[in-house]
Amino acid sequence: MSSFRLSPPDLRHYARAGLSGDVIAALVVTIMLIPQGMAYAMLAGLPPQAGLYGAILPLILYAVLGSSPALAVGPVAVVALMTAAAAGLVAEIGTPGYQLAALWIALLSGAMMLAMGLLRLGFVANFLSHPVISGFITAAGILIALSQVRHLLGIQTTGKTVPEVIPSIIANLGAVNTITMVLSAAVLGFLFWSRKGLAPVLRRLGLGAGAAGLLAKGGLFLAVLASTLTVWALGLDARGVRILGDIPAGLPPLELPAFDRELITLLLVPSAMIALVGYVESISIAQTLAAKRRQSIDPDRELIALGAANLGAGVTAAMPVTGGLSRSIVNFDAGAQTRAAGALTALMIGGALLALTPLLYFLPSATLAAIIIVAVVSLLDFRALPRAWAYSKADGAAMAATMAVTLTLGVEQGLMAGVGLSLALHLWRTSRPHVAEVGQVPGTGHFRNINRYEVVTTPEVLTLRVDESLYFPNARYLEELVQSRIAERPEIRHLVLMFSAVNEVDASALESLEMLLEKLHAAGASLHLSEVKGPVMDRLQRSDFLKHVDGVHLTQLDAMLALAPGLTQATLDRERYERRKANA
């Protein structure tokens, strides 16, 4: 494991590669981060500076402790939405209690990430399966976009879920502020156009392709500038267009939020979910970008760095943070070489906080809402659901449940439903394992399903390949299945259980195997095992079972050579004969 500091070789490498890539990347990311940070703070129900503060100390801590050179840490949309949902459980938006809750969410989720990293428990994040996280992100994107409609239209709405927000929007359509709506439409139109259309225009203006591509990312900045100037010049704030107002100038305060045991207890579960989602989102981005440059990411170290970043957010009046997709890609494309790019971003944001906040006074909320909507549209992946369903009904069902519950009941419930259903379906599946009757592929030591391959069998020997570990949810299933097969075919003298796919036999299953053995002996049949794996064999040797079973064979071929020697050897010999004939 590499050191957590920038080591001398790192620094020498850095000097050789030059600052230029990192400086340019930091500049582009800063230009995106100022409006995005304020927008995500608004989405989280927090004052705009909470988003900007989230781009200072957290970024520095990640730069010191993290392992990804390209990951851009800071406020992100999904975590902002989850923060709003969790803080909304304990306090009214806009109250000091709400802001306190957001700080404790950052501290708690940070502490959990840190602990998971130090205890090397990063694998816990794997319980958020891919379909669940993908369904969750799409559903969260829809909720986020819906939550911004009120800013686009200049109305008030209530509720957080689809069945609450949509009727609320409809009920308030009469109160739409036309100027706000026109402004929103202009900004949204410009932003969607600028994602594809701005770069070609810049190139036609004589810029190089690379520079044009990067400058096009400044579309956000242009939208902010133009809409702010418009509101200021035309005095639109007096005509009902909501504006940002005062942002305190200067660097964030450094202070531990007030301790409140009851608040903290209520926030434990939501903070754990925010930690998990934030980590999974961030590590996926970091690994994808690392793979492109053949670098590698240390998951436990990432947890520690993200944990520290969130603890940093919690003590500097900032919102919870994690690695964000859009800024990380921009960071990567703009040539960020080392984590210093993140630290430089933090410095630039700090500079902006010292100098630029008065200029943001007239920035309309509608512009920030438009920025959020453009950002989350890239999160929506509606094709993922039919794709997952086509591959596996269980994965599709888990994704559908996650989406449906997230949209109708909320983010926390949606995640819980997805994880719960994934686990339940896994348990249900393993409780009724696939069991194949197998026979010898002629002339080989290989045994396959009699229903799929042309194989050799004999009526006296029944060989079943059990395609699952034997453990308590399926312990009795095999017993009952074997009993019914034996009852149907009284000619069976030997049962061979082929254990090539059995990775565990727990105490309940052992009990069941012992019952099975007794029943087989009572029916005058014998029980053999074949291809038992080392770890399973070690376990069985601690019990009496192996003393009573009629035979344990290294390979299924050995078992068949013992139980039906004539037949099995014959197919081997015939095959060899035919091969020799073919060679002759």
In the window 550-569, what residues touch its own copies (CB under 8 A)? Answer: 554-555, 557
Q: Distance between the two ends of the chain, CA-based, in angstroms?
A: 59
# chain residues binding its own copies, by CB under 8 A: 72
Token representation of residue 564: 């039906």
- Residue 527 beta carbon to its own copies: minimum distance, rounded to whole angstroms: 15
3-state secondary structure string across 428-482: HHHHCCCEEEEEECCCCCCEEECCCCCCECCCCEEEEEECCCECHHHHHHHHHHH
Pair of tokens at residue 105:
């969410």
User: Does the protein bind its own copies through residue 362 (CB under 8 A)?
Assistant: no
Pairing type for strands 461-466 and 435-440 reads antiparallel
Q: Does 49 sit near its own copies (CB under 8 A)?
A: no
Residues contacting residue 236 through CB under 8 Å, at least 6 positions apart: 179, 183, 230, 364
Among positions 511, 551, 570, 575, the unique one binding its own copies when judged by CB under 8 A:
511
Which of 501, 561, 567, 570 is in the footprint of its own copies by CB under 8 A?
A: 501
Q: State which of residues 95, 127, 210, 577 lies at the interface with its own copies (CB under 8 A).
A: 127
Find the shortest distance in angstroms from Cβ 314 to its own copies.
28
Q: From the list 234, 249, 507, 546, which residue makes contact with its own copies (rule: CB under 8 A)?
A: 507
| Shortest Cβ 445–its own copies spacing (Å) | 4
**Residue selected from 237, 260, 506, 550 as contacting its own copies according to rule CB under 8 A:** 506
Q: Note the maximum CA span of the chain.
A: 100
Give whole-number Cα distances, 85 to 16, 88, 100, 312, 456, in Å.
47, 5, 14, 22, 62
Task: Considering the complex, state which of residue 239 and residue 293 has its C-beta at the smaller distance from its own copies.
Answer: 293
Q: Which stretch binds its own copies (CB under 8 A): 30-38, 170-178, 454-462, 495-503?
A: 495-503
Chain residues 528-547 in contact with its own copies, contact rule CB under 8 A: 533-535, 539, 542-543
- Cα dihedral: 267, 271, 272, 276 (round 10): 160
Under rule CB under 8 A, which residues in 414-433 are in contact with its own copies?
A: 422-423, 426-427, 429-433
The helix or strand, by DSSP H or E, that contains position 526, with its residue range, turns out to be strand 526-530
Contact 241, 364 (CB under 8 A): yes
Strands 494-498 and 526-530: parallel
Q: Check residue 577 for interaction with its own copies (CB under 8 A).
A: no
Residue among 160 and 429 whose Cβ is closer to its own copies: 429
Q: Determine the interface stretch with its own copies among 35-43, 83-91, 209-217, 527-535 (rule: CB under 8 A).
A: 527-535
Site for its own copies in 269-288 (CB under 8 A): 287
Using the rule CB under 8 A, is 323 a contact of its own copies? no
Q: Which two tokens stand for residue 348?
A: 């630039």
Residue 317 beta carbon to its own copies: minimum distance, rounded to whole angstroms = 35
Residue list 390-419, contact with its own copies (CB under 8 A) = 390-392, 394-395
Quick one: which of 394, 320, 398, 335 has its CA closest to 83?
A: 320
By beta-carbon proximity to its own copies, the closer residue of 508 and 571 is 508
Question: CA–CA distance from 253 to each of 125, 260, 317 (Å)?
Answer: 33, 20, 7
Segment near its own copies (CB under 8 A), from 96-104, 180-188, 369-377, 387-395?
387-395
Task: Establish if 571 lies at the interface with its own copies (CB under 8 A).
Answer: no
Smallest distance, its own copies to C-beta of residue 197, A: 32
For its own copies, the binding residues in 214-253 under the rule CB under 8 A are none
Residue of 16, 383, 452, 547 interacting with its own copies (CB under 8 A): 452
Which backbone phi and psi does 259 adopt, to 5 degrees? Answer: -80, 130
Q: Which range in 77-85, 290-298, 300-308, 314-322 contacts its own copies by CB under 8 A?
A: 290-298
426 vs 493, which CB is nearer to its own copies? 426
Asked if 343 is part of the footprint of its own copies (rule: CB under 8 A), the reply reads no
Residues 470-489 that bind its own copies (CB under 8 A): 471-477, 480, 483
DSSP for 389-417, please give it: HHH-HHHHHHHHHHHHHHHHT-HHHHHHH
Which of helix, strand or coil describes residue 551? strand
Beta-strand runs (E) in 16-77: 72-74
User: What are the two backbone dihedrals, phi and then psi, of residue 419, each rounded to the nearest 5 degrees?
Assistant: -65, -45
Closest approach, Cβ 117 to its own copies, in A, equals 15
Minimum gap (Å) between residue 499 Cβ and its own copies: 9
Distance of CA 75 to the CA centre of its chain: 17
CA atoms of 301 and 307, how far apart (whole Å): 10
Q: Is 2 among the residues that bind its own copies (CB under 8 A)?
A: no
* Rg for the chain, CA atoms, rounded: 31
Task: Determine which residue in the list 49, 83, 109, 129 makes contact with its own copies, applying CB under 8 A.
Answer: 129
Q: Mark 84-123 with x for binding to its own copies (rule: CB under 8 A) and - for no binding.
A: ---------------------------------------x
Among 359, 519, 561, 570, binds its own copies (CB under 8 A): 519
Q: Which residues pair with 464 in a beta bridge?
A: 437, 497
User: Half-sphere exposure (CA, 13 Å, Cβ side) for 286?
Assistant: 28
Residue nearer to its own copies on the CB measure, 260 or 300: 300
